[in-house]
Amino acid sequence: MSQDKHVYFFGDGKADGKAEMKKLLGGKGANLAEMTNLGIPVPPGFTITTKVCRYYYDHDKTYPEDLDEQIKENIAKVEEVMGMKFGDPEDPLLFSVRSGAAMSMPGMMETILNVGLNDVTVEGLAKKTGNPRFAYDSYRRLIQMFSDVAMGVDIEFFEDALAEMKKDKGVELDTDLDADDLKKLIEKYKEIYKREMGEEFPQDPMDQLLMARDAVFGSRDSERAIIYRRINGISDDEGSTAVNVQTMVFGNMGDDSGTGVAFTRNPATGENKFFADYLFNAQGEDVVAGIRTPIHVDELQKAMPEVYNQLREIEQKLEKHYKDMQDLEFTVQQGKLWLLQTRRGKRTAMADVRIAVEMVKEGMIDKETAVSRVPAEKIEQLLHPMVNTKSKAEVIGEGLPAGPGAAVGKAVFTAETAMEMAKLGEKVILVRNFTSPEDVGGMHASQGILTATGGMTSHAAIVGRDMGKCCVVGCSDITVDESGKKFTAGDIVVKEGDVLSLDGHVGKVMLGEVELIEPTMSGDFGELMEWVDEIRTLGVRTNTDTPAGAKRARSFGAEGIGLCRTEHMFFEEDRITTMREMIVANNEEDRRKALEKLLPMQRQDFIEIFEAMEGLPVIIRTLDPPLHEFLPHSEEEVKELAEEVGIDLAKLKDKIESLHEANPMLGHRGCRLGIAYPEITEMQARAIIEAAVEVAKKGKEVIPEIMIPLVGQARELELQKEICDRVAKEVLEEAGVELEYMVGTMIELPRAALTADEIAEFAEFFSFGTNDLTQTTFGMSRDDAEGKFLQDYIEGGILEVNPFMTVDEKGVGELIRIAVEKGRSTTNDLEVGICGEHGGDPKTVDFCHRVGLNYVSCSPFRVPVARLAAAHAKLREEGKMDE
């Protein structure tokens, strides 16, 4: 028989648990214990462990035998501390019952308040507090929450009953209802419960408590919790929740009561300034749900200076203790402050950076800790465009700037529509009165979020910020008609599909599309990134085909170009015809003629890119896509081409037909083109080396690296390298210039990885093309999978991550490991990088660090993300990441 400790007590300055027991007690439980131990006023209670939750699921939803006994023992302890009894008809002790997993999952908190109230104890509470209205209001709230959370009764039944009551009475606010009204409402609520559940609302306080416990454990596998975990990559086990049973304190006992949420620093900007949302005479759920818009904390200071000062003392103590910005929940009951929760405060990327940097300056943390605390994925937000303030957009509303950046998209009014339209490639903005956990998927799919109600700590704000979404909340200027799919702002009506713009930095809502401008980075950011560069050992290059991209990436800290595609250049208006002329040429001579025209264009492109990347390596890839991608498809265009090039229409059509492929991804592309038409490689090698010579002649350092794509056999590379070396020799001798250059290859086919030792005989560098490598390793075409069955695979848990976003370590990663090992067995110091889109994904960057690559390469905007992720990888290796 199990003699495990299932229940941990906290109260009266002492707790069984502590902060380090997060995994066992959940974040909330561990912090309640820690706060208690710190001498902070926390309502006493106890935590049922996450281990019990796992037991519950592993044992067919049953509990350890001795659990109930331990619960009863702990209730007794609380009763002793509080000097009250659970179920006491005169002065009943009431409990809140809350979930709390080891990992914070915003909006996933299940809460039932006022457990212990029944037809009898409610009268005792009324008498004891001398406030029958409060007592009945608490009871009707219990019935509603219990029905909703524990029994799954539709909450609308209760809301409708409440609304009807208000209508009958001709009042607008809940607070306008008096004790008698609420008493009647309780009867109605109990009827609803009986109707829906087929039995009476439970009157035994202990029954209520145990059923609430069941509900909390049961919530781990609710659909929305499962979706949330999937989106955030949290395992079921990590999602196991503890149950926190805690003495009720009341923020709704009148105007000397209230409830609030506070941040020790500003979660939006990071400014070191206390920040709180407070509601007088309200329970905590009212703040978090964002249904009522809270007042500014200054009003609390005015109204209750002692409480305010105590709160400030506590928040400073907590921040110092945890050495990080804290997010607190507190309640004031008839003038007495109670702390209900403290946890690491979620924040914007901007706040992440500012807080980390300022805490180093304040001597609170060291640089490595600062770097470790800024999530790599989020800092891309700092680089995103902002609204051009000179934009003459019509501002139709203002709300709270809850999430960073700016967003433009079509208005939609339900999460479902947001997801559907996003699937079709539309950019949307989700507009709601307020959001709830059911909306998480739709929020994820949207460019931005706009809510009419709620504060900076409402669901929309917390989740939006966490996702890095532009988010404006509490915009009372608008009236949302969700079912009518429209909102009004004054006399303006915005319907589904109308374009809106949001400015998440200032909280403005604008009609139509605004102009966006490039972001500039703060000094804090620059400072942090300097520390990042001191820590990381993995290089970061960028993928770009343009001088502008090269310049931007360089300003973001790119240390070279990892992939410059040469084909995009051919799609420009003035070049495509020449390119097509080359493709449809019937013999080498005609092909060479067209290539001669393309040569100076390519050379000029490369000159500009080399200049932008002066002193840094630039990898240029030879022609990669199947030739038919360049050809026209419509009858009209084909005719035009025939005329332009002076070729018989029927012959041209035959040629186009002959280039058609059943599986172009696996067809005549990559170096297979250069093998079939060596003159193409010749022209490109010439353009690269001639451009390098020209730039070198200006006294600028050029480091060209020519990359051959889609190599599967060593001999392919050998042949292509021969061409490059021959042409380079010619050009350099002719110019009388000495210049170092390299010839290397993409490793983007399984066979290339498996025969990397042979390929390395001819390669001066490797670069993993993880897009193609993923497609071939999985036998899955990205075009055909994404937006089709891939989503089902991820949602169905068949795939743990989208392998086109994060490198699949088991399969693709194994090939990368093999290729690095084999490649370096031939050439010990072989330069190896990655240039697939995965190069900017933090998890992939970590993998690349572990597997010993020299650098990752990613799009310009991902460069800072990759730099930070590279530093994290190094810190993780050294055990310095707190995860």
What are the residue numbers of the active site? Answer: 459, 835
What are 336's strand-pairing partners? 333
CB 473 within 8 A of CB 452: no
Size of the site for a copy of itself (CB under 8 A): 49
**Min dist. Cβ of residue 220 to a copy of itself (A):** 21
Looking at beta carbons only, is 184 or 668 nearer to a copy of itself?
Answer: 668
CA-based R_g, the chain, Å = 32
Looking at beta carbons only, is 427 or 751 nearer to a copy of itself?
Answer: 751
Gap between the Cα atoms of 110 and 340, Å rounded: 15
What are 328's strand-pairing partners? 262, 342
Looking at beta carbons only, is 640 or 784 nearer to a copy of itself?
Answer: 784
Using the rule CB under 8 A, is 716 a contact of a copy of itself?
A: yes
Using the rule CB under 8 A, is 799 a contact of a copy of itself?
A: yes
Using the rule CB under 8 A, is 785 a contact of a copy of itself?
A: yes
Gap between the Cα atoms of 31 and 48, Å rounded: 14
**Min dist. Cβ of residue 237 to a copy of itself (A):** 17
Using the rule CB under 8 A, is 789 a contact of a copy of itself?
A: yes
| Contact with a copy of itself (CB under 8 A) among 72, 651, 715, 726 | 715
Candidates 124-132, 249-257, 459-467, 752-760: pick the segment binding a copy of itself (CB under 8 A): 752-760
**H helix or E strand, kind and range, residue 529:** helix 523-535
For residue 125, count CB atoms less than 10 angstroms from its CB and return exposed for 0-12, middle for 13-18, buried for 19 or more: buried
Using the rule CB under 8 A, is 758 a contact of a copy of itself?
A: yes
- Enter the tokens of residue 701: 């350092």
What are 486's strand-pairing partners? 481, 495
Number of other residues whose CB lies within 10 A of the CB of residue 873: 25
| Contact with a copy of itself (CB under 8 A) among 722, 793, 794, 880 | 793
Gap between the Cα atoms of 45 and 76, Å rounded: 10
Using the rule CB under 8 A, is 797 a contact of a copy of itself?
A: yes
| Contact with a copy of itself (CB under 8 A) among 104, 129, 713, 827 | 713
Site for a copy of itself in 717-736 (CB under 8 A): 719
> What's the per-residue H, E or C state across 436-451?
CHHHHHHHHHCCEEEE
- Enter the tokens of residue 297: 């904390």
Looking at beta carbons only, is 477 or 661 nearer to a copy of itself?
Answer: 661
Distance between alpha carbon 504 and the CA centroid of its chain, in Å?
Answer: 16
Among candidate residues 806, 857, 809, 796, the one with its CA nearest the CA of residue 832: 857
Using the rule CB under 8 A, is 814 a contact of a copy of itself?
A: yes
| Contact with a copy of itself (CB under 8 A) among 661, 722, 725, 730 | 661
Using the rule CB under 8 A, is 808 a contact of a copy of itself?
A: yes
Using the rule CB under 8 A, is 815 a contact of a copy of itself?
A: yes
Ramachandran region of residue 114, left (φ > 0), alpha (ψ -120 to 50) or beta?
left
CA angle 349, 353, 358 (to 5 degrees): 145
| Contact with a copy of itself (CB under 8 A) among 254, 375, 385, 750 | 750
Using the rule CB under 8 A, is 801 a contact of a copy of itself?
A: no
Using the rule CB under 8 A, is 749 a contact of a copy of itself?
A: yes
Using the rule CB under 8 A, is 547 a contact of a copy of itself?
A: no
Using the rule CB under 8 A, is 748 a contact of a copy of itself?
A: yes
Looking at beta carbons only, is 395 or 666 nearer to a copy of itself?
Answer: 666
Q: Residue 704: what residue type?
A: P
Using the rule CB under 8 A, is 233 a contact of a copy of itself?
A: no
Candidates 7-15, 142-150, 365-373, 655-663: pick the segment binding a copy of itself (CB under 8 A): 655-663
Secondary structure letter of residue 806 according to DSSP: S
- Enter the tokens of residue 21: 């027991």
Candidates 131-139, 183-191, 641-649, 777-785: pick the segment binding a copy of itself (CB under 8 A): 777-785
**Min dist. Cβ of residue 599 to a copy of itself (A):** 25
Whose structure tokens read 């904390």?
Answer: 297
Secondary structure letter of residue 200 according to DSSP: P
Strand 470-473 to 478-481 pairing: unpaired
| Contact with a copy of itself (CB under 8 A) among 242, 261, 583, 812 | 812
**Min dist. Cβ of residue 795 to a copy of itself (A):** 12
Using the rule CB under 8 A, is 778 a contact of a copy of itself?
A: yes
Using the rule CB under 8 A, is 792 a contact of a copy of itself?
A: yes
Candidates 165-173, 299-307, 390-398, 770-778: pick the segment binding a copy of itself (CB under 8 A): 770-778
Coil/strand/helix, residue 540 = strand
Question: Within the chain, how many helices (H) and strands (E) appear?
Answer: 34, 34
Candidates 71-79, 100-108, 541-549, 778-786: pick the segment binding a copy of itself (CB under 8 A): 778-786
Using the rule CB under 8 A, is 775 a contact of a copy of itself?
A: yes
For residue 361, count CB atoms less than 10 angstroms from its CB and return exposed for 0-12, middle for 13-18, buried for 19 or more: exposed
Strand 394-398 to 508-511 pairing: antiparallel
Using the rule CB under 8 A, is 453 a contact of a copy of itself?
A: no
**Min dist. Cβ of residue 706 to a copy of itself (A):** 19
CB 138 within 8 A of CB 283: no
Coil/strand/helix, residue 235 = coil
Which residues make up the interface to a copy of itself (CB under 8 A)?
Answer: 661-668, 672, 675-676, 710, 712-713, 715-716, 719, 748-751, 754-755, 758, 772, 775-781, 783-785, 788-789, 792-793, 796-799, 808, 810-812, 814-815
